[in-house]
Amino acid sequence: MTRIASLVPSGTDLVAALGLADRLVGVSHECDHPVARGLPRLTSSVLPAPDAHPDPAEVDRAVNAAVAAGTPLYRTDTDTLARLRPDVVLAQSICDVCAVSGPEVAGMLPPGSRLVMLTAGDVAGLWRDIRETGAALGRSDAAERLVADVQQRFASVADAVGGRPRPRVLTIEWPDPPFLGGHWVPELIAVAGGTHLLVEPGAPSRRCTWDEVIAADPDVVVLMPCGYDLDAAVAAAPKLPLDRLRASAEGRVWALDANRFTSRCTPMIDHTVHLLAGILHPDAFAAPDAADARRIAAPTPAG
């Protein structure tokens, strides 16, 4: 039986979606899929553990200081990895800030372990990751069925919003300093019936200014800080100049649980497009569950 170690949450999501959860022998410290419970944690962060509502500017400063010093942001427990003797190790090469770097892991693998690199930077890349992982795990047929299933759910959302006005959407992947959502996020907005502003589909997220955000005059703003759950995203909102946004005055600023919905490109993004469609087209889709996304109230004008 193939033994699998996942060093990235998207890898664990993918293994579960392929029906191979019982093959997992170890996961990353950030893996939050239910199948990861109780499994050895193979990675850790070098940064101090944040509180429940970390200050975005402080997190940014800590990350930049580590990068400037040439310090990797994550450690891999090579002793435990060797003891577990995985046949396949899943890692990623998209973002060194988000998870253990796959190229670094390549030199740490136990003898006989095969590294499968997840490289999706857009939705087409997800289909590729599913197929390549399925092939490596001997589940190519299951991988094809999974791709077809997620594509069908995407198509059902796109059909439901077809012909409707497409609100102009701006996504904020980090609040201080502000970064705009990129990679697969603009495509998810498009499937959900919106027009993504300032970042093209497949382009990486990028730093911007609040003046640029205000000038774009979005109809809807989605706050989705990478690595934050919903409560942390909501807690960050009062620090932002939302009072300068028309979308805020119209009650169209939302925070969502980025950990679950936008920070990684996995088969679970079919749930993301349904959530986004509920935000963008509330007359056609049910409103998001309060555990998944929350409307940010307009700031009270200074008296």
| pLDDT interval class at 303 (50, 70, 90) | very low
114: CB partners within 8 A, 6+ apart? 87, 88, 89, 136
pLDDT digits 0-9 by tens, 188-233: 999 999 999 999 998 999 999 999 999 999 999 999 998 889 999 9
From residue 200, alpha-carbon distances to 27, 30, 66, 253 in Å are: 33, 28, 29, 21
pLDDT digits 0-9 by tens, 118-160: 999 999 999 999 999 999 999 999 999 999 999 999 999 999 9
Tell me which of 53-67, 72-86, 246-260 is least confident.
53-67
Q: Which of 293, 298, 213, 299 is closest to 255 using CA atoms?
A: 293
In CATH, the architecture of 164-295 is 3-Layer(aba) Sandwich (3.40)
| pLDDT interval class at 94 (50, 70, 90) | confident
**Which of the following CATH numbers is that of domain 4-119: 2.30.40.10, 3.90.25.10, 3.40.50.300, 3.40.50.1980?**
3.40.50.1980
- Please give the pLDDT value at position 57: 74
Average pLDDT, integer, range 153-174: 96
Question: Is the pLDDT assigned to residue 13 strictly greater than 70?
Answer: yes
CA–CA gap between residue 25 and residue 13 (Å, rounded)? 14
Which residues of the chain form CATH 3.40.50.1980?
A: 4-119, 164-295
253-256 and 293-295 beta bridge pairing: antiparallel
Average pLDDT, the chain: 90
